[in-house]
Structure 1
Amino acid sequence: MRLKKRFMLSLKNSLRFLPDRQYIKIYYCAKFGGFPNIDEPSTFNEKLQWMKLNCHDPRMVSLVDKCKVRDFVEKRIGSQYLVPLIGVYNTVEEFLGADLPNEFVVKCTHDSQSAHICIDKATFDFGAAARGLETALKRNWYWQGREWAYKGVKPRIIVEEYLRDRERATPNDYKFYCFDGVCKMIQCDADRFENHKEQFFSPAWESYGDWHVSHVPEGELLAKPDGFEEMLTLSQSLSESFPHVRVDWYCIEGKPFFGELTFYTGGGFDPFHSKEDKLRDPLDRYLGDCLVLPEQARTLYV
């Protein structure tokens, strides 16, 4: 683990006793070098902090659950967009005792970064996966960034089919940033485990740069995928009635498969063009303008 990552993890643990608002301000300062304006937010990251503290829509609790969200997707756009489900398990022992296919993806239903990919059961390290899942099951993801929706999610293990893409080792991720049912930006993650590229585009597939800088040379731009227009339409359908939600997809040979719904991208702590001025990032401000905060948020969803 890199030194900076160790420091941030240590900071999270040492500040756990703090109330949400104080924790958010200190952690935000550690990430960006300045405190957020939570009472009058203007940037996207500032507004996500406001949403965590004020927008407590009870629907979000089931929609951040990687198992329960499947019901929502099926009812709104159809089950054909869901990654085929193999099983859901309450314990690591149940997972280890399950009759699994040769290829699968296993992860927890309540967090991020707990996924393990198996492309060959004979060589898959079940021990390492079990240890990682055991640790994840004991962790309430809410404490990582005080993301309200995760506080009440029951930790479980979900196993889905492995989506094999003939063109690349791992499928690309397409993340649609939607606001009240309208997509304003798409993030594409390619080759996540080797030579990772992370680029941003408008709904017309005009480049907004990548994670490091606002300009990407023409020859390095990722191509618009087959199935893009379908993913765009479906994302806007799934995001209706939410001030903001990011809708994530895989696209295999032109066929979209739903990934997840995310209400707090990066916990509201991720700069976009991270090598440029973090507090004056144009994408942070552009998306901040797109996110219209609901009025009287604490009483909207009672």
Structure 2
Amino acid sequence: MKNLLPDWLYFQLVYVKNYKRFGNFSQPTSFSEKLFARIQNPLPAFSMLADKVEVREYVRNTVGEQYLIPCYGVYERITPEDFQKLPESFVLKANHGAGQVLVVTDKSTLSPESVCDQANMWLEENYGDDSRERHYKNIPRRLLAEKALLQKGGSPDDYKVHVFNPQDGRAPYCFIQLIKGRSATLSQAIYLSDWTKAPFCRAGYSTAQQKDDSPRPACLNEMLEVAIKLTGSLGYSRVDFYVHEGSLYFGEITLTPAGGRVRFEPNGLDSQLGSLFPWPDRMPV
């Protein structure tokens, strides 16, 4: 049924369901309204930034090759022969959406045919249509194999740096969403740029899930600096990182977290963050 709804009605219904109020997408003021407006009217560069293959060149040119996770191959379709050429551990992902990721810790335990079938099926999924995030629609679909940055045999901690760039003389405002335990028990916490606990939290997670006392990463200042450079003149972006064996690695740039449905508490924060997100949107470069 939802596929029959026009975009304007679909997004308004989604917004009301998540925020319990109507959204103003033609003249947005809050953070959430600006995300929903961005989804419906993306800038041309957004497709490049969301493309997990093409964004590598942007990262290389903006902050340097050293922040890129080593790449083993890019495929229009992957074959069992390609699989056999990959190292024992790697990460296989699609470049045109979210959630299409396979972390391989020991490829000898897997069927090459099954892995390739699963990955190639991702290429049949039109993530841009399913999520209605228009900037994903123009991404040529490919697969990417990267080095697995394993941590205790599983996925590494995920540092998501939210960068708000007021562009009115104020310095960028950043906070870090630390997600841990993707391979086991998921938890997350939010830290300010000085690594003190934020006075707000991600909605939808229990108190137990948000308890965390992780030490300040040694590369925190570098992480913030790189995130701000990659955000460029954008009013907002979320830049994801991993820290592996003392080195900082870029994960991805996200322009519409959770399809615009990312919520933070308390409720007044939505308006406060919106005031730090200049509008209309600007090109990142």
Query: What's the CA shift string for 1:140-197, capped at 9, x where partnerless?
Result: 221233222111001110000111335x732111111112382421111111121211
- Tell whether the 8 Å contact from 2:31 to 2:274 is kept in structure 1 after alignment: yes
Q: Conserved in 1, the CA contact under 8 Å of 2:50 and 2:254?
A: yes
SS at match of 2:110: coil
Distance in 2 of aligned mates of 1:226 and 1:124: 36
Of stretches 89-98 and 181-190 in structure 1, the one that deviates more from structure 2 is 89-98
Map of 1:202-241 to 2, 5 A cutoff? 202-208=192-198, 209-211=200-202, 212=204, 220-241=212-233
Residue 22 of structure 2 aligns with an amino acid whose one-letter code is F
Equivalent residue in structure 1 for 2:132, among 146, 168, 174: 146
Pair 28,145 (structure 1): closer, same or farther in 2 beyond 3 Å: farther
Give the whole-Å Cα distance in 2 for the aligned partners of 1:271 and 1:127: 40
User: Residues of 2 paired with 1:213 and 1:139: CA distance?
Assistant: 29
CA contact (8 A) 1:165 1:253 kept: no
Which aligned pairs between 1:147-226 and structure 2 lie closer than 5 A?
A: 147-165=133-151, 169-180=154-165, 182-208=172-198, 209-211=200-202, 212=204, 220-226=212-218
How many residues are treated as equivalent by the alignment? Answer: 277
Secondary structure of 1:91's counterpart equals coil
Contact 1:205 1:224 (C-alpha < 8 Å) held by counterparts = yes
CA shift in 2, pair 1:202/1:227, >3 Å: same
Note the C-alpha offset of 1:240: 1.2
User: TM-score normalized by structure 1?
Assistant: 0.82
Task: Classify 1:176/1:220 alpha carbon distance in 2 versus 1 (closer, same or farther; 3 Å).
Answer: closer
Q: Is the 8 A contact 2:93 2:102 kept in 1?
A: yes
CA RMSD of aligned residues (A): 2.7
Shift of the 31–144 alpha-carbon distance from structure 1 to 2, 3 Å rule, reads farther
Unpaired segments ≥5 residues, structure 1? 1-13, 274-279
Separation of aligned partners in 2, 1:291 and 1:95: 47
8 Å contact 2:83–2:116 — kept in the other structure?
Answer: no
CA contact (8 A) 2:189 2:212 kept: no
Mean CA deviation greater in 197-206 or 213-222:
213-222
SS in 1 for 2:252: strand
Question: How far apart are residue 97 of structure 1 and its match?
Answer: 5.1
State the identity %: 29
Q: Is the 2:92–2:143 contact (alpha carbons within 8 Å) kept by the matching residues of 1?
A: yes
User: Residue 183 of structure 1 contacts residue 235 of structure 1 at CA under 8 Å; is this kept in 2?
Assistant: no
Measured in 2, the distance between the counterparts of 1:290 and 1:215 equals 27
Match of 1:20 in 2: 7
Counterpart of 2:246 (choices 254, 257, 261) is 254
Pick from 9, 16, 34: which aligns with 1:47?
34
| TM-score (normalizing by structure 2) | 0.86
Alpha-carbon distance change, 21 to 125 in structure 1, aligned in 2, over 3 angstroms: farther
